[in-house]
Amino acid sequence: MTEQPSPVRLRSALSGVPAYVPGKPPAPVEGVTAYKISSNENPHPPLPSVLDAISQAAQSVNRYPDMGVVALTEALAADLGVPVEQVATGTGSVAVLTQLVAITCDPGDEVVYAWRSFEAYPIVVALSGAASVQVPLDEHARHDLDAMADAITDRTRLVLVCTPNNPTGPAVRADELDAFLDRVPDDVLVVIDEAYLEFTTEESVPDALAVARDRPNVVVLRTFSKAYGLAGLRVGYAVAHPEIATALRKAATPFGVTDLAQQAAIASLAARDELLARVEELVAERERVVAALRDQGWDVPQAQGNFCWLPLGDDAVAFAQAAQARGLMVRPFAGDGVRCTIGETEANDRLVDVAREWLSTQG
């Protein structure tokens, strides 16, 4: 039965859906500890207080979670200083993004975003039947917000701004974001994807919550996956106008955010100072690695997330293979560059070594 082609008619949109390429797990290399720096994960295991919350919650996994995600939504709202009506959660911010597309786009509508950017964007958009309008990054691997504003048509329903941009690293500035938003029609929703907000250090970064307060067509997207180290539990959220947030709740998978995830996220908010101290260490490591790479001659763009970008062009995959031979899994984007997550100190040191060796063998 499975040898025969399936006679079932699937949606034609599927043929345009690219496959997500997950970061590879560490491949063992004789004599060295292998490190995975390919998925922008937090290298720190959960805090004891967070583990406690998870194991408490584990005792009632025979029950459905709170479908309204009430306690976490209230904790987030209090934390962010916004009304609860403006917070909507989902199973990771990628799921919230899927909900955002579902509530705005009919087939044939357009979603504008920078490229290269987060690889989930083209997947989520294509699956919905909407069309991706990808606007090339500028020569500094930054969003070209003028070109993005120019790309908006009457079919545009959604614009995605990824700041800091995954995988290249730069963050948009408050002034350029404001000028851009002035040009976006107010019936077009703009998503500010701040998955790496906690790692930003530039003073020029926007206060996206304040921007969303002033502009009802702006949504802020955040996650517990990166700075808060809960990638494996899948919980993210949007801060949006109450009507948008209500629509997002309608589009959510019922009971999607597990009680483990809800309790872990609440415990993480309570332990924020401890978690942000870890983030501060990772940021210091990022600065150290980026400075070392630039010293070697690499043209590393501004790095405002927990990762840095090596613009290797056609050598991206070969570099990733060389890194893998040294027990370091990085994330190549064929023909474009390599994204390296800031991880354990030894992993970071090894990245600097691999990058130096690469240059010396390129002559």
- The binder of ligand PLP chosen from 195, 208, 247, 289 (CB under 6 A): 195
Q: Which amino acid is at 320?
A: A
**Nearest distance from C-beta of residue 251 to ligand PLP, angstroms:** 15
193 is a site residue for ligand PLP (CB under 6 A): yes
The residue range among 58-66, 92-100, 275-283, 323-331 that interacts with ligand PLP, by the rule CB under 6 A, is 92-100
Rounded Cα distance between 357 and 328, Å, is: 14
166 is a site residue for ligand PLP (CB under 6 A): yes
Q: Which amino acid is at 135?
A: V
- The binder of ligand PLP chosen from 34, 147, 149, 231 (CB under 6 A): 231
Paired sense of beta strands 35-36 and 328-329, if any = parallel
94 is a site residue for ligand PLP (CB under 6 A): yes
Paired sense of beta strands 189-193 and 156-162, if any = parallel
Compare residues 177 and 292 and give the one whose CB is closer to ligand PLP.
177
Site string for ligand PLP, 108-147 (x = CB under 6 A): ----------x-----------------------------
**Nearest distance from C-beta of residue 167 to ligand PLP, angstroms:** 8
Task: State the distance between the two ends of the chain, measured CA to CA, in whole angstroms.
Answer: 56
Compare residues 239 and 292 and give the one whose CB is closer to ligand PLP.
239
Compare residues 286 and 327 and give the one whose CB is closer to ligand PLP.
286
Compare residues 193 and 198 and give the one whose CB is closer to ligand PLP.
193
236 is a site residue for ligand PLP (CB under 6 A): yes
38 is a site residue for ligand PLP (CB under 6 A): no
17 is a site residue for ligand PLP (CB under 6 A): no
| Residues within the interface to ligand PLP (CB under 6 A) | 40, 92-94, 118, 162, 166, 193, 195, 223, 225-226, 231, 236
